[in-house]
Amino acid sequence: MTSLIFGASCSPSTVIYMKDLNAKEHEASHPEAAAAIINNHYVDDYLDSFRTIEEAIRIVTAVRDIHRKAHYELKQWKSNSPQLLKAVGSRNRSSKARRRPWEALRIVMSLFDLLGFASPVTVRAKHLLQEVWRRGTTWDKGLPEDLTEEWKAWMTRLQSLNNVAIPRLYLEYSDAVNLQLHVFTDASESAYSAVLYWRATTPTDKVYLSLIIAKAKVAQVHKLSSPPRSHG
Residue 96 pLDDT: 46
Residue 85 reports pLDDT greater than 90 = no
Average pLDDT value for the chain? 82
More confident residue, 162 or 187: 187
State the Rg of the chain over Cα: 27
Prediction pTM value: 0.48
H and E: helices and strands count for the chain: 7, 5
Residue 101 Cα to chain centre, angstroms? 10
Q: What is the pLDDT of residues 94-128, one digit of tens each?
A: 444 455 666 777 777 778 888 998 898 889 888 88
124: CB partners within 8 A, 6+ apart: 154, 157
Residue 6 pLDDT: 65
Residue 78 Cα to chain centre, angstroms? 12
Q: What is the pLDDT of residues 54-83, one digit of tens each?
A: 999 999 999 999 988 888 888 888 888 888
Alpha helices in 70-138 (DSSP H): 82-88, 101-109, 119-134
Residue 95 pLDDT: 46
